[in-house]
Amino acid sequence: MNKEVIPALTSGFVSDVALLHAEPQSLEIDRQRTAVLVIDMQNAFVSKGGMYELRGIDISGCQKIIEPIRQVIKAARVRGIKVIYIVTRYSPDLHEGGSPNSPNWYKGTLTTYHKHPEWGDKLLTRHTWGAEIVRELNPDKDDIVVEKARYNAFFETNLDELLRTYDIKYLLFTGLATNVCVEATIRDAYYRDYFPILIPDATANTGQQFILKATIFNVKRYYGWVTTAENAMEAIQLGFSDKKKGVWKLGSTVATKRGEAICKSIQKEKR
């Protein structure tokens, strides 16, 4: 394994740095600048009786990742890390999906609307059962929900604006589908100078397993980093302190060397 570690990109005097074991390199991540993205974990894709199952798609892989995602977001909430849900939703007239002049009209979800309008609330129309996030992963009051109409979660949404408002730099990716919406969003995140980190055992792909391997290869080689749910939770929950690198620990908070004086003054007050 590559022993190289990419140093954290901190912001301001006080940060919250942890070591995340990943490939092809491990990273020091600033937890104050980290968000977990949960993509398309909706009834239409994941639940029995939803659009995917009605189409004859095996949803066992989608259901299998509910628990690791639940564990990751639970740990993130405790730590104060932002949890952002990305969901595919349409108005009843499907205007967000484009017209017959758009290739999107002939691909993916919209083709199901055209072929099976009778499936109704099993699809992804806003305010229907199919469009809702699965019960096991219900958003918390402090979580954020971003609606999209295409594979890429940045396309014609306010996701980029939200991330910059909260000064987010590191993105932990979970959800569906690894090789479609997740990969499309990772690629765009890379172009926008975020640090995308894929958690394959908290995502599920469409198609055969070699497709998942292709996405993992692409992310590791070109677009970001790959880790496990276990490693992600460890980085979220545990601290990292290394004075040789100029990192000082204050309780569960880590400060860069620039904020050393502030940390020491606070520690004196506590005495």
Give catalytic residues, as residue numbers.
40, 148, 181
CA distance linking residue 133 with residue 139, whole number of Å: 8
Kindly tell me the number of DSSP H helices and DSSP E strands found in the chain: 10, 12
Give the 3-state secondary structure of the chain: CCCCEECCCCCCCEECEEEECCECCEEEEEHHHEEEEEECCEHHHHCCCCHHHHCCCCCHHHHHCHHHHHHHHHHHHHHCCEEEEEEECECCCCHHHCCCCCHHHHCCHHHHHHHCHHHHHHCCECCCHHHCECHHHCCCCCCEEEEECCCCCCCCCCHHHHHHHCCCCEEEEEEECHHHHHHHHHHHHHHCCCEEEEEEEEEECCCCHHHHHHHHHHHHHHHCEECCHHHHHHHHHCCCCCHHHCCEEECCEEECHHHHHHHHHHHHHHC
CA distance linking residue 257 with residue 255, whole number of Å: 7
